[in-house]
């Protein structure tokens, strides 16, 4: 019997396994190769400043226009609407001003220490060479978008996060690859980027293996708690026993926990990327394009354009036109950009209506813990979330208040 079974081989599950190896024997259950989850195809942008939840009055006001714009940053497939009804009602509830303020504070509490925690975890695994601590720029083409970006600076400061406005003249020297027609930018000096998220995850997973964790391939299909509080985990092939369990399986966490009677309103918010192996122009750091709200991140394999959010019917095939839509607006920011030999990718980002992850201990099962639903911030928040999970498993208090992330918020 293992001391802990971690269900989910993505970046969050791998980070949890690394933190838990100091507490006893660990089994990491990975449906795919460990480290190969959704974060492997992410923008690679490790953003401490992404503290504003999707739900908010501004989103509700803009929703009709967004849904009618097939080329926009948010899309809902008509066939998915019935599946999203309950989630959408919770989204509207989360958009109330008081809820938005609470979610913003909770995201900031995770993000303030997140990049330092991830860097330290990467150093332990010899993977810190994939991380660059050079900041990021949120760039605006229009004066209106620049004004909106600047307006967030005092809010970020209230939450202990640094950001500063960069006017057009300074921006030209800071990032020569940008078009001179851009209006300005906001710099996030403590942001990081990952130069190869897939290789980074694989390196962390290999360190987990080297430290003696058991890697159990396949998807977990059921959890059964014995009278003594230990667990039988049913896999696609075989079973596994553990004294404690951590569910960190992204959107696939939902059926496991619902079978035990827990409310888990998480849905897949599909994200896309377009990878340009020979982009012709390469910025020095991650750029987030404010007008369209997607990223361009220089990586070992070229330039990755990543963003947009799509809610589709479960199991629907990817709509790779959404990845291809990223090129034209990126080229307006980066003159000379080329898309030859571009590759496309889609991943399922686990999204709760309030944009907060679920981190905690199950209310009726004290030996069952969970850590999933980080939406677009899984890579950013993996290590700090894993520290909290290790505290829960060990019976120690976490370094920050975990109540905002409890599944009990949905009761």
User: Each residue's pLDDT tens digit in the chain (411 positions)?
Assistant: 999 999 999 999 999 999 999 889 999 999 887 877 888 899 999 999 999 999 988 888 877 776 666 677 788 887 888 888 999 999 999 999 999 999 999 999 999 999 999 999 999 999 999 999 999 999 999 999 999 999 999 999 999 999 999 999 999 999 999 999 999 999 999 999 999 999 999 999 999 999 999 999 999 999 999 999 999 999 998 999 999 999 999 999 999 999 999 999 999 999 999 999 999 999 999 999 999 989 999 999 999 999 888 988 878 899 999 999 999 999 999 999 999 999 999 999 999 999 999 999 999 999 999 999 999 999 999 999 999 999 999 999 999 999 999 999 999
Q: pTM here?
A: 0.96
Domain boundaries along the sequence of the chain = 2-410
Q: Give the pLDDT confidence score for residue 306 in this predicted structure.
A: 96
Q: Give the pLDDT confidence score for residue 342 in this predicted structure.
A: 96
**Alpha-carbon torsion angle 34, 40, 45, 49, nearest 10:** -50
Q: Does residue 8 contact residue 252 with C-beta atoms inside 8 Å?
A: yes
* Distant-in-sequence, close-in-space partners of 9: CB < 8 Å, separation ≥ 6: 28, 29, 30, 31, 32, 33, 34, 35, 36, 37, 205, 215
Q: Give the pLDDT confidence score for residue 93 in this predicted structure.
A: 95
Could you say which architecture CATH assigns to the domain 2-410?
A: 3-Layer(bba) Sandwich (3.50)
Q: Does residue 34 contact residue 134 with C-beta atoms inside 8 Å?
A: no
Question: φ and ψ at 159, to 5 degrees?
Answer: -100, 15
Q: Give the pLDDT confidence score for residue 68 in this predicted structure.
A: 66
Q: Give the pLDDT confidence score for residue 66 in this predicted structure.
A: 65
């Amino acid at each position: 019997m293992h001391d802990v079974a971690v269900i989910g081989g993505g970046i969050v599950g791998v980070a949890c396994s690394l933190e838990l190896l100091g507490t006893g024997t660990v089994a990491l259950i990975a449906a795919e190769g460990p480290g190969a989850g959704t974060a492997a195809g992410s923008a690679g942008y490790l953003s401490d400043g992404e503290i504003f939840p999707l739900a908010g009055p501004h989103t509700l006001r803009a929703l009709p226009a967004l849904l009618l714009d097939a080329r926009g940053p948010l899309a809902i497939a008509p066939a998915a609407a019935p599946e999203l009804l309950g989630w959408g009602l919770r989204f509207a509830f989360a958009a109330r001003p008081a809820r938005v303020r609470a979610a913003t504070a909770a995201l900031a509490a995770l993000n303030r220490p997140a990049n330092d925690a991830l860097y330290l975890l990467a150093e332990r695994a010899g993977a810190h060479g994939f991380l660059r601590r050079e900041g990021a720029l949120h760039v605006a083409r229009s004066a209106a978008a620049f004004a909106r970006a600047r307006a967030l600076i005092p809010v970020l400061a209230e939450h202990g996060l640094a950001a500063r406005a960069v006017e057009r003249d300074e921006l030209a020297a800071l990032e020569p690859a940008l078009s001179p027609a851009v209006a300005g930018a906001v710099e996030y000096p403590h942001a990081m980027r990952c130069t190869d998220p897939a290789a980074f995850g694989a390196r962390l997973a290999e360190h987990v293996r080297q430290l003696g964790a058991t890697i159990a391939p396949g998807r977990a299909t059921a959890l059964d708690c014995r009278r003594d509080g230990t667990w039988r985990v049913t896999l696609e092939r075989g079973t596994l026993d553990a004294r404690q369990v951590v569910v960190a399986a992204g959107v696939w966490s939902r059926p496991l926990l619902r079978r035990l009677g827990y409310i888990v309103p998480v849905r897949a918010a599909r994200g896309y990327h377009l990878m340009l192996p020979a982009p012709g122009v390469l910025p020095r750091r991650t750029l987030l394009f404010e007008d369209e709200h997607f990223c361009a991140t220089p990586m070992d394999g070229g330039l990755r354009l990543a963003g947009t959010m799509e809610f589709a019917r479960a199991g629907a095939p990817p709509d790779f036109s959404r990845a291809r839509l990223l090129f034209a607006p990126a080229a307006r920011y980066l003159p000379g950009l080329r898309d030859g030999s571009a590759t496309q990718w889609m991943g399922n980002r686990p999204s709760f209506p309030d944009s907060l992850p679920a981190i905690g201990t199950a209310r009726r099962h004290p030996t069952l813990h969970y850590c999933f639903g980080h939406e677009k911030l899984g890579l950013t928040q993996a290590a700090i979330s894993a520290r909290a999970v290790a505290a829960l498993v060990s019976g120690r208090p976490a370094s920050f208040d975990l109540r905002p992330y409890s599944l009990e918020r949905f009761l």
